[in-house]
Amino acid sequence: MKDIVLVKDKDTHLWHQKLATQEAKKGYWTNGMAEELEGVAPMTRFCWSLSFAGVATDEAFLDLSNNEDIALTSFKNKSNYFFYHTTKAASLNNSTVFRHALVTSNVSSALCQPSSIGFGISKEEWAKSLQDSKFCLVIRGDNPNSRSLFRSIRNGCIPIVISDMLPSYAPIFRSLLKMEDYAILLKEEDFISDPVGTLNNASILSNFSINKFLNGIKIVQRMILPDHPHSLFVPAFCHETVASMKQIYQVPNEGNGGLASV
């Protein structure tokens, strides 16, 4: 069991290393989740994360037959600047303040317009609005992860990630990809102190920066989507599996709750 390579929705090894620092428990992030996970040591020596990549395959809103559609011209022709829809239900681990920051106040009207921001809409309207948006907000929920990241990648929408721990909790092919190459990463503290200012800064990105993100998205699409016409999913999967085996996690002995370093 200990020598199995485990592929999960989160990188258990990397996350436990992160929990060794106080950074995972500071600011708006409550101790509840960290304390819960500290008591669950990884069971195998090898692990890597595909996160919620399956969501991008199951919800095939965008026709990927012409990958060149993800280009600067088509990006600028999209109607909406920002896309974000959430539910009225509260989230765990003090995430509600982030998820409702734009919806429960009048700040959304101060964002670059038009934007599609609000509570639940029909699936058809949701898919149409997402495809017609330049930026998709990826805000943490009950844990640092979010399905919105993969939906935005599939639909050629630049993700704006507001989840400080996501790169450590659920990186995608972390030996091959850097999240900052295909997504805009905003600090949670900066976002909550000035939601409008931090988001509107995205509207003044240079063409060079936009192209960088769009090219990054095209590469990520090929890696995470088995149904992509030029998919690299299988070689990327094999590469990441081998890479994970080069970083051996010392599994604690039974009865030993301590964590060893990689």
Give 260's pLDDT tier (boundaries 50, 70, 90): very low
pLDDT at 102 > cutoff 90:
no
Specify the higher pLDDT residue, 26 or 260.
Answer: 26
Output the pLDDT for position 6.
Answer: 62
Region 20-44 average pLDDT: 54
Give 259's pLDDT tier (boundaries 50, 70, 90): very low
pLDDT at 210 > cutoff 70:
yes
DSSP label at residue 225: -
Per-residue pLDDT tens digits for 149-204? 988 998 899 999 998 888 888 888 889 999 999 999 999 889 889 999 999 988 78
Instruction: Mark 106-138 as b/e (b = at least 16 C-beta within 10 Å).
Output: eebeebbeebbbeeeeeeeebbebbbbbbbbbb
pLDDT at 5 > cutoff 90:
no
Residue 32 contacts by C-beta under 8 Å, 6 or more apart in sequence?
Answer: 92, 93
Give the angle subtended at the CA of 25 by the CAs of 148 and 249, to the nearest 5°.
Answer: 80
Specify the higher pLDDT residue, 116 or 10.
Answer: 116
Output the pLDDT for position 123.
Answer: 83
Region 135-160 average pLDDT: 88
Residue 66, number of CB atoms within 10 A of its CB: 8
Region 209-214 average pLDDT: 95
Output the pLDDT for position 77.
Answer: 92
Output the pLDDT for position 158.
Answer: 96
pLDDT at 92 > cutoff 80:
no
Specify whether the CB–CB gap between 241 and 44 falls below 8 A.
Answer: no
> For the ranges 22-31, 69-78, 117-126, 184-193, which has the lowest average pLDDT?
22-31
> For the ranges 77-81, 139-143, 231-235, which has the lowest average pLDDT?
139-143
Output the pLDDT for position 148.
Answer: 87
CATH C-level class of 54-168+176-229: alpha beta
Specify whether the CB–CB gap between 257 and 183 falls below 8 A.
Answer: no
Domain boundaries, given as residue ranges, for the chain: 54-168+176-229
Specify whether the CB–CB gap between 57 and 92 falls below 8 A.
Answer: no
Query: How many Å apart are CA 49 and CA 2, to the nearest integer?
Result: 17
